[in-house]
Structure 1
């Protein structure tokens, strides 16, 4: 039976960085990824630009060359997929991990294709797979989209954008500039402070001039085929003619998967339990890396500040190997 030193669940930037560190330490490893390389980035809006500059997105000390101050989605795909090819990263694509079970000192990683055995497992699955639902009637209609890619399908349509973060603002501005009639439904009292600083004045000016309508302190109550019903800040019920709803309400890690692995979740944010010095969870030799570490607080970890997780994890794994050899 083949036993890996470490199986890495998730082939995003942090998963790739974990693989790079495993290579440096000559560990026998495998990444298992449910989609393509950096699948979450592939599903980002086509014209998305990162908040960070290129050097903050680098992994493995491999330069990320960008022609723009802020690299975009396509440049990131080229960079990370290029690293995968150049370094010969051992990665299985389009294979979903179903469960992780531990029997004594060995993990059994069951996937959609087979079962792998490993001494250590790293979960680096991010948070982009499960939309944070509004839980209102009609949310399951085809007109409701929880993912936004490009503005062209929404030309000359009546669009409701739900949310006030970067994804909501980008969707509102891009669809407006392609001829959509855009209304934003925002639960809070202002545009999020985390919106990219070069974009925020644009959306605020479009709101001020009335090009994009905005209802603050508002909440959708129901979605129908030809309209949405929402409550405004004064508690009044309103109806709005509508063709599409872009629900940019955020995304969540797969908490059920984490719990099924035996990982404890704490507090209102369902933050996974782990050692911040080693990234090891309450399950010995089971580690977390990247955005998944923040639980519901998905703005806590990014590529740039969680790259270090790979070095911490592989360093801990190697130290245990040396300790075992000495004994």
Structure 2
């Protein structure tokens, strides 16, 4: 039987790594469990993704993040967080998915795919990139429909519909068009999103205005077939020839996982109940950190403004461990 851990951290993204650094500083017996690769969400970002923020805003624990670009890209971020984890010899178990977390008396019983753990405190830093928001239309499960985008090359010389008007949708549409894809955007709203990166927004708007990229605003897909897509538009229903649908409509936290641990979620936006000073949830000893704190409002929390969660949590744990 494993010894009782002081702290068990679920998720090895940037915030999970920051929490692990705090545990190491306090000489706590801790472990980080990550179901995928280190910084799994960042790893699954598009290959050419550029952050909105500058590198110093992505730093954790005041460890310098040196970038050769004004705004760092995905590869630089992967290198930075990997070096932070390896240089500090953090205790991280990769490819070990947590199945259940149950409070038993004063400790937590945590079961993963590989073994069982007991811990005095648990920190959940699982992010929100694992579960895509589905279109819920007929044909969405066809192989040609994708909810994640990696790179443009597979879509060269193909008829591609990109769903959405967020940063990810706009980046995908521009990249695919520049690699020779025939791109049509289907957007529920009446314009490109306000939060699209300011240096990219004019680019997509100009491509749409000149007709290089087609766009249907105030529109929704109603059916996906093998060689076409049916779209309800403001001008009536249209049938668009199609090879691929890249549905980048956003992602959501695993709310069922939180509720199974006993965390209470608000009815309005699924925001978990927690103390904003300590980040402790309604379950004593169970802490939340990072974007998971925002519920369905995943745009409220980023690496930049949730780095502080690690220190808030460690301060509270130190006072009662």
TM-score with structure 2 setting the length: 0.99
Alignment RMSD (CA, Å): 0.6
C-alpha separation between the residues in 1 aligned to 2:50 and 2:152? 15
Q: How does 1:1-327 map to 2 (within 5 A)?
A: 1-234=2-235, 236-321=236-321
C-alpha separation between the residues in 2 aligned to 1:156 and 1:102? 54
Matched residue SS, 2:168: helix
How far is the alpha carbon of 1:269 from its aligned partner?
Answer: 1.2
Matched residue SS, 1:266: coil
How far is the alpha carbon of 1:25 from its aligned partner?
Answer: 1.5
C-alpha separation between the residues in 1 aligned to 2:268 and 2:167? 24
Deviations 1:139-158 (A, max 9, x none): 00000000000000000000
C-alpha separation between the residues in 1 aligned to 2:192 and 2:148? 20
Deviations 1:146-176 (A, max 9, x none): 0000000000000000000000000000000
Matched residue SS, 1:265: coil
Aligned residue pairs, count = 320
C-alpha separation between the residues in 1 aligned to 2:155 and 2:85? 35
Matched residue SS, 1:85: helix
Deviations 1:14-70 (A, max 9, x none): 000000111111211110000111010000000000000000000111100000000
Matched residue SS, 1:313: helix
C-alpha separation between the residues in 2 aligned to 1:158 and 1:36? 32
Matched residue SS, 1:19: helix
Matched residue SS, 1:119: strand
Matched residue SS, 1:222: strand
Matched residue SS, 1:272: coil
C-alpha separation between the residues in 1 aligned to 2:234 and 2:220? 8
C-alpha separation between the residues in 2 aligned to 1:233 and 1:116? 55
Deviations 1:239-288 (A, max 9, x none): 00000000000000000100000000003210011011110000000000
After TM superposition, where is structure 1 displaced by more than 3 Å over at least 4 residues in a row? Answer: none
Gaps of 5+ in 2: none
Gaps of 5+ in 1: 322-327
